[in-house]
A and B are shown apart, each in its own frame.
Chain A
Amino acid sequence: ETGVTQSPTHLIKTRGQQVTLRCSSQSGHNTVSWYQQALGQGPQFIFQYYREEENGRGNFPPRFSGLQFPNYSSELNVNALELDDSALYLCASSLLAGEDEQYFGPGTRLTVT
């Protein structure tokens, strides 16, 4: 157990819909990162938030957006879902951006039909 939780565990959406995934970081961790893990691949960095501001972004389109809240929770929002968005979405929290071990949650499995 890492102290990082995610909800929901599984989700099925239809192409074109919007989805919100939630993450609760370890208490005291100011940084949260989101990753997409497609089947058979390693996690791919989506973006990172540090003290409620986006702190870095991977190669994902603007329809992937996020929020971080003062209570160590965060959200990943994906608009206009595409079939290729089907994946495991992981959040990871850490104390310091870019310099610290990241603690991963169990992930949310998103299926887009």
Chain B
Amino acid sequence: AQSVSQHNHHVILSEAASLELGCNYSYGGTVNLFWYVQYPGQHLQLLLKYFSGDPLVKGIKGFEAEFIKSKFSFNLRKPSVQWSDTAEYFCAVNAWRDDKIIFGKGTRLHILP
């Protein structure tokens, strides 16, 4: 069965620090990968996605993620965080052409001004 593991449950950073949130998945076949973000009081929204092609994908608000197939990883990065990045971040995977998306447990990111 597919599963997603997010390494950090709670991360606290100062503004301008660099960010990397870890995500590993377990599934042997072709996958689609996602990072979703939930800002306080708002809907879950897509930050970025990988379906195929360049394993380095860029998303909104300066975020990027790198798919490393050999490591089953899809880590999220941002070179310089802002206070407005305070949110909960979810990594998710679905097997190619499968119906269900499997989410990780989420990482709460708190940026200190």
List residues of A whose CB falls within 8 A of some B CB.
1-2, 4, 33, 35, 40-45, 48, 55-56, 58, 90, 92, 97-99, 101-102, 104-107
Contacts and interface: CB of A to CB of B under 8 A. Distances in A.
Contacts of A43: 44, 90, 103
B101 A104 contact: no
B101 to A, nearest CB: 6
B45 A45 contact: no
A41 B100 contact: no
Dominant secondary structure of chain B at its interface with chain A:
strand
A104 B102 contact: no
Q: Chain B, interface size: which category?
A: 20 to 34
B43 A56 contact: no
Contacts of A42: 4, 90, 92, 103-106
Given A90-B44, A101-B46, A107-B43, 6 more contacts: A35-B103, A41-B105, A42-B105, A56-B98, A58-B100, A99-B51
Contacts of B32: 99
A43 B91 CA distance: 11
A99 B92 CA distance: 13
Contact of A102 (B51, B98, B101, B105): B101
A30 to B, nearest CB: 13
Contacts of B45: 2, 104
Given A2-B45, A42-B90, A105-B43, A97 B99 contact: yes
B71 interface: no
Interface of B: 4, 32, 34, 36, 43-46, 49, 51, 90, 92, 94, 96-106
B43 A41 contact: no
B2 to A, nearest CB: 10
Nearest to A35: B103
A106 B44 CA distance: 8
